[in-house]
Structure formats: structure tokens, C-alpha cells
Amino acid sequence: MSITLGASILAADWSRMGEELAELEAAGIDYIHWDVMDNRYVPNLTFGWDMISACRSATTVPFETHLMAWETERDIAKYVAAGCERILIQPEAHIHVHNTLRVIREEGAEAGIALNPGTPLAMVEDLLPDITTLLVMTVNPGFGGQAFIETMLPKIEAARALVADRAPHVKIEIDGGLKPGNVAAGVEAGATMVICGSGLFGPEGKAAAIAAMKSGIASAGVTA
């Protein structure tokens, strides 16, 4: 089984974002994860489609966007035009979640659902045919640098069983507090996509940090 490693660029130097993305690609990252926050759904304000569009030419790796924002269906086309191949939404932030997923697909992107630590897995059961990715958050969304919530491991395992039974096309992604020392537990629980954020921007450099994460993933008996 192949596990892909994505970089959340929340902790990057925003004044040189293009260079940061190019460095991540050179260091071996598989995809870029954009955490879009609106200061309403979560208590933080980050970037939008203009920033993503401006950075699209800096790297060739895929872009994934996690919309931590209220009622974003009217903005989906802008994120796709900016270069996002996959868009994940929070089910609590949309009155008609099924319709928003339809809009994402019709605009030409893959659709996904993100579940907060306090959001039950049942929220996604009826939406599995409409998504390609299920993100199980292992921290509460809003800020980088948080500690991994170990009690999410049974939820990842339950997600793996649900997907295997009802939607084997869906990939399970995890995000939040993941480091070389704990990522194997998430992969063993069922994740096939892993996001790392602040851990990639330390003094050891991106290449060493990515190598360490992939080594941690490999210790679970899979290949990153």
C-alpha cells in the first residue's frame, strides 16, 4: 500500500510562499494542503483563492484545499480555477452538504469531507458515494502546532471499516499533530494520506523533515 504525504503550509513563511512550495516539491512532498479559514467557522483567518492562484505556478504537485469556512458553495469555482484539484468541506458548515459536494464535482475537482474530533463518523455515511477523500482531523481545526489527539485512533479504525464495507474508493486522510514518532499509529489505524504541517518547517530543513516523516510511515510496514 502506498501512503502519500501532504504539506500543510500554514506554518510556512508567507512572504516567500512560492519559494517554500518549490522547496517542498524538491524535498519530495506529494501534495500541498491549503487550510482556508474564515475567522467564523474557526477562530483564525488565513488565505483564499487569490493566494492559491498566485502560488500555483511555483510547483507541479497537486493542490488540496480544506475549507474551514461557512457556506463556501458560491466560492467553489474560484478555488478550482485557482488550481485546486481536491476540495474538502466541513459538513457542519453547509446547510445542504450533498449539494455542495455536487458543485465541487461539477466544477471538475475531487470532493471530500473533513470530520472534526467531535464530529461523529455518522455524518459522512450517506455522503460516501459523493466523495473521494475522508479527512479525520486529529486536532481541533483552527491553528497549527497542536498535539495529536490519540483518542482519534479508534475513529480512524472505524472509518477504515466503514469505507472498506461501503465505499472502497474513498481514501482516509489524517491531519493534526503528526510527527515521525506517532504517524505510524495513524497509518496502522487506516490512513492512506497523511498531512504534516509545522513539523516540516523546522531548523533541520524540509528534506530531512520529509525523510523523517516517510521513515515513520515506513515503520508501519507501508511505503510512502
Pairing type for strands 110-115 and 63-68 reads unpaired
Closest by CA to 54, choosing from 94, 3, 104, 14, is 14
Q: Of 13, 38, 126, 175, which is the active-site residue?
A: 175
Q: Of 35, 38, 50, 165, which is the active-site residue?
A: 35
Based on the residue annotation, tell me whether 175 is a catalytic residue of this protein: yes
If one counts every other C-beta atom within 10 angstroms of the C-beta of residue 44, the result is 15
Alpha-carbon distance 93 to 100, whole Å? 10
3-state DSSP assignment of residue 210: helix
Based on the residue annotation, tell me whether 165 is a catalytic residue of this protein: no
Compute CA distances 178 → 8, 35, 50, 204, whole Å: 11, 16, 28, 17
Task: Give me the active site residues, please.
Answer: 35, 175
